[in-house]
Amino acid sequence: MTQTFTTETGNSDPEGPAPRSRLRRLRDRVHDRLRDDPGIWRRGIVLAVCAALLALLMGLHAHIPNRYGSLGSLSETFLPWLGVVFLPVLLAAALWRRSATALIALLLPGVVWLDLFGGLLTDKSSGGGDLTVATHNVNAENRDPVGTAREVAASGADVLALQEVAQGQGPVYAKALSGSYAHHSVQGTVGLWSKYPLTDARPVEIGMGWPRAMRATVKAPQGDIAVYVAHMPSVRVKLKAGFTAGQRDRSADALGRAIRHERIERVVLLGDLNGTMNDRALNAITSQLRSTQGAAGDGFGFSWPASFPMARIDQIMVKGVEPESSWTLPRTGSDHLPIAARITL
């Protein structure tokens, strides 16, 4: 009687080709669907056009005119949300319509959105840093200014800027922060608190008729820093007038001129600019300084409104120093979130 011997090898594992078989089945299923449903390419033409228009709107946002109702600035304020909101809606519609054309067209706005904002999705923070700075629009109608002051001081910031310090509230914030900050200056409705000495503190004229911006020299151990605190005029969306940002834009130009003539090389701007880094109307400022959130943050860092943040209109911007990290702080009694950053001088 003849016996046959076989040798067992790892290649005989019955589960080995399973993944390949599943891929083959998926490929065959898609092939059959395309063959049996030729309408899959004809359906969804309108969705494909909408996808292309969305890509153009995001990619060419700088060409949307500001002449009529500041539509360009309005679109740039909420630019990330164009992709966040409309891409999923169009994707769901394309799947419901079973349209291959629409699905392929959606790649275009997806790539444009990632090109604009993909860099913000990664954590760029690093350790180290010489100085922690923070800024907060405390809201003139804040019912708990003392609690708000203590909460932002708990961040450990070496330099703290406040905006919307209501008339008569300056001494309240000064007293609440006196245990953490030995030096401070309040100019109109903005103020600066520091653990290090302040010199040459003065208002900065931005065309408002009362101080809503200031600058001071912080005598840090590593050297002098020019710190600007600013609260740009508010903007409104009105049915007949559109995005009313004219006064904000003129004030931004004035602040940009002041920063351009600053003699100290290391500059930090802290404040509520009522505009995002994408807003072309703030170019007089953003062309000179860089955002700590964009350079060393994690995510978009939205700061307003505090109940459901949709835009980063509060900014920490720098020149002549290196951002190491940037983040938002917990909510206080204000309608804005406080923000902070750590920098190397």
Report the pLDDT value the prediction gives residue 254, as an integer from 0 to 100. Answer: 97
Report the pLDDT value the prediction gives residue 239, as an integer from 0 to 100. Answer: 52
Q: SS3 for 100?
A: helix
Look at 317 and 3; give whichever has higher pLDDT: 317
Report the pLDDT value the prediction gives residue 18, as an integer from 0 to 100. Answer: 55
Say which range, 118-122, 146-150, 213-217, 287-291, has the weakest mean pLDDT. 118-122
Q: Are 138 and 165 a contacting pair, CB within 8 Å?
A: yes
The top-level CATH class assigned to 131-344 is alpha beta
Give per-residue pLDDT as tens, 126-171: 988 999 999 999 999 999 999 999 999 999 999 999 999 999 999 9
Confidence of residue 67 (pLDDT cuts 50, 70, 90): confident
Look at 153 and 69; give whichever has higher pLDDT: 153
Picking from 163, 171, 157, the residue whose alpha carbon sits closest to that of residue 140 is: 163
**Angstrom distance (rounded) from CA 271 to CA 338:** 10
**Angstrom distance (rounded) from CA 90 to CA 50:** 8
**Angstrom distance (rounded) from CA 102 to CA 41:** 8
Report the pLDDT value the prediction gives residue 5, as an integer from 0 to 100. Answer: 44
| Size (the chain), residues | 345
Provide mean pLDDT across the span 258-269.
98
Report the pLDDT value the prediction gives residue 156, as an integer from 0 to 100. Answer: 96
Q: Cite the residue boundaries of each domain of the chain with CATH code 3.60.10.10.
A: 131-344
**Angstrom distance (rounded) from CA 303 to CA 86:** 22
Provide mean pLDDT across the span 77-101.
93
Q: SS3 for 57?
A: helix
Which residues have C-beta within 8 Å of that of residue 48, sequence separation ≥ 6? 99, 101, 102, 104, 105
Confidence of residue 312 (pLDDT cuts 50, 70, 90): very high
Provide mean pLDDT across the span 279-300.
96
Confidence of residue 35 (pLDDT cuts 50, 70, 90): low
Confidence of residue 74 (pLDDT cuts 50, 70, 90): confident
Tokens linked to 188: 């109109």
Tokens linked to 160: 């703290």
Provide mean pLDDT across the span 36-58.
89
Q: What is the CA radius of gyration of the chain?
A: 27
Residue 2, pLDDT > 50, answer: no
Say which range, 24-38, 121-135, 232-246, has the weakest mean pLDDT. 24-38
**Angstrom distance (rounded) from CA 31 to CA 181:** 69
Report the pLDDT value the prediction gives residue 22, as an integer from 0 to 100. Answer: 79
Report the pLDDT value the prediction gives residue 111, as an integer from 0 to 100. Answer: 97
**Angstrom distance (rounded) from CA 236 to CA 230:** 19
Which residues have C-beta within 8 Å of that of residue 6, sequence separation ≥ 6? none
